[in-house]
């Protein structure tokens, strides 16, 4: 597949600390690439280096086959960026906001008008073109922010947590819009902390931490990396510490927790874990209301690779 972005041996230092540590990856044409990582993992620094908003110490970045640089305006015209913080003009209405940002790239008025209307339709703002930002809900503001970033119809779109703090309806609208952008031929880099969005949208995923790639692949490929074969969840009203300890010592158990009347068990391997657990409950006369088994999720993989400690 053709690469539209190539990052090779990228290193960015702040004093004696490496924010990016010899990072290498490619972004394929027409894909949605999920860029994941805990706070401080290097996602934002990587994006800012790709956009040539930051100088870096080592490595190279090619975008659309050419070396990226602060003065590479011909390349930058092909990139649309939607940052997490909403950046629109309060004194301009919806249409004029999109017109302003689109006008930075497209000077022809008729062409620009067509692009603006397509962007408005894509994010579902047809009824709000004369509204000012202060009149919009949080979800509508997010959709306006996206329209401003993609109205000039760039080949590459970088979306930095575009669904933060929005209602489910707005989130679905945004996700549908992202799918539509990909269908039109855009290549998308997508950052988020919502793993279910990644599973819905992304063709491939990169997990970063401490400026390095921990894993890269499809969601199914990443799940194969998890040191977890099975997760069992049981709704159980009462479970003594003694019984919990016995279950923890079952074969193949990797971890166990019991909170709010819910028992969660992860197994490293084994084919009859659920059956053995149910047999134990029957033998010990332990009653439960619900029990189910599932394969590890992308969230499980993420936590296993990056750890469960809180990040600043």
Q: What is the pLDDT of residues 5-30, one digit of tens each?
A: 999 999 999 988 999 999 999 999 99
Asked, for residue 305, whether it belongs to a domain, the answer is no
Beta strand spans in 167-261 (E): 187-191, 204-209, 212-217, 230-235, 253-259
> For residue 274, what is the domain's CATH number?
3.30.70.980
Asked, for residue 304, whether it belongs to a domain, the answer is no
Distances (CA, A) of 9 to 81, 207, 308: 23, 16, 28
Name the band, by pLDDT with cuts 50, 70 and 90, for residue 312.
Answer: low
Predicted pLDDT of residue 305: 87
More confident residue, 202 or 299: 202
Both 251 and 199 in a single domain?
Answer: no
DSSP 127: G
Query: Is 311 a residue whose pLDDT tops 80?
Result: no
**DSSP run (H or E) holding 6:** strand 3-14
Domain of residue 241: give its range. 227-295
**Number of domains the chain is built from:** 2
Both 177 and 275 in a single domain?
Answer: no
Structural domain ending residue among the three candidates 200, 224, 248: 224
Both 251 and 291 in a single domain?
Answer: yes
Both 277 and 196 in a single domain?
Answer: no
Per-residue pLDDT tens over the stretch 239-278: 999 999 999 999 999 889 999 999 999 998 777 899 999 9
Predicted pLDDT of residue 112: 98
What is the percent of the chain where pLDDT is above 70? 99
Asked, for residue 48, whether it belongs to a domain, the answer is yes
Both 113 and 70 in a single domain?
Answer: yes
Asked, for residue 40, whether it belongs to a domain, the answer is yes
């Amino acid at each position: 597949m053709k690469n539209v972005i190539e990052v090779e041996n990228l290193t960015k230092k702040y004093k004696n600390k490496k924010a990016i540590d010899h990072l290498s990856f490619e972004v394929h044409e027409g894909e949605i690439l999920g860029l994941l990582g805990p706070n401080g993992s290097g996602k934002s620094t990587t994006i800012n280096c790709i956009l040539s908003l930051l100088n870096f110490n080592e490595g190279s970045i090619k975008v659309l086959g050419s070396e990226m640089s602060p003065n590479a305006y011909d390349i930058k015209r092909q990139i649309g960026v939607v940052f997490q913080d909403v950046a629109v003009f309060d004194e301009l209405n919806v249409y004029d906001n999109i017109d302003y940002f689109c006008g930075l790239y497209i000077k022809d008025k008729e062409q620009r008008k067509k692009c603006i209307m397509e962007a408005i339709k894509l994010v579902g703002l047809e009824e709000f073109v004369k509204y000012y930002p202060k009149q919009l809900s949080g979800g509508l503001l997010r959709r306006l922010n996206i329209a401003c970033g993609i109205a000039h119809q760039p080949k590459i779109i970088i979306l930095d947590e575009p669904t933060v703090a929005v209602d489910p309806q707005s989130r679905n609208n945004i996700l549908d819009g992202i799918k539509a952008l990909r269908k039109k031929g855009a290549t998308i880099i997508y950052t988020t902390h919502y793993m279910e969005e990644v599973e819905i949208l992304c063709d491939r995923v990169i997990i970063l931490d401490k400026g390095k790639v921990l894993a890269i692949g499809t969601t199914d490929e990443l799940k194969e990396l998890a040191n977890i074969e099975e997760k069992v969840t049981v709704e159980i009203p009462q479970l003594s510490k003694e019984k919990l300890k016995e279950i923890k010592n079952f074969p193949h158990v990797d971890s166990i927790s019991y909170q709010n009347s819910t028992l969660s068990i992860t197994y490293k391997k084994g084919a009859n874990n659920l059956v053995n657990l149910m047999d134990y409950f029957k033998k010990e006369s332990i009653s439960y209301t619900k029990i189910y088994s599932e394969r590890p999720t992308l969230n499980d993989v993420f936590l296993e690779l990056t750890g469960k400690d809180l990040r600043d």
